[in-house]
Amino acid sequence: MSSILVVNEISTEREELTRALEAEGFTVVQAVSATDAVREIWGGSFIVAVISTLLTGTTNTALVKQLGQMAPEIECIVQGKNDEIPALVRKAIKIRDGEAAA
């Protein structure tokens, strides 16, 4: 099963995306902060990290760069405020199936 890391400080958004990804067969690990995301990268094996644009204490760009240095095999998708959940799920499916990169 393919694992995805969802990084979002807003629990309702994080949980909604998690449910949609799990419905498509993904295993999802939730991170409530950039610090949690870094900790999870060390403990797991992910194909995709979906990172919210709004993070306390850092930027999504800095986190994408840090995760890329730690685990270059992970594709990072930045989840903007107006991004629709179905579009993010489709992108993750394409990455899993080898059809696209983030």
What tens digit of pLDDT does each residue of 72-81 get?
A: 999 999 999 8
Is residue 102 situated within a structural domain? no
Residue 29 has which token pair? 């690990």
* pLDDT tens per residue, range 20-41: 999 999 999 999 999 999 999 9
How far from 45 is each of 10, 70, 81, CA to CA, in Å?
23, 12, 27
Q: 82: which residues sit within 8 A by CB, 6+ positions away? A: none
User: At 8, which CATH number?
Assistant: 3.40.50.2300
Residue 17 has which token pair? 């995306």
User: Residue 90: pLDDT above 90?
Assistant: yes
Is residue 101 situated within a structural domain? no
- CA–CA gap between residue 74 and residue 102 (Å, rounded): 10
| DSSP conformation class of 11 | H
Edge-to-edge strands of the sheet including 27-31? 27-31, 3-7, 48-52, 75-79
Q: Residue 73 sits in which domain range?
A: 3-96
Is residue 32 situated within a structural domain? yes
Count the domains in the chain.
1
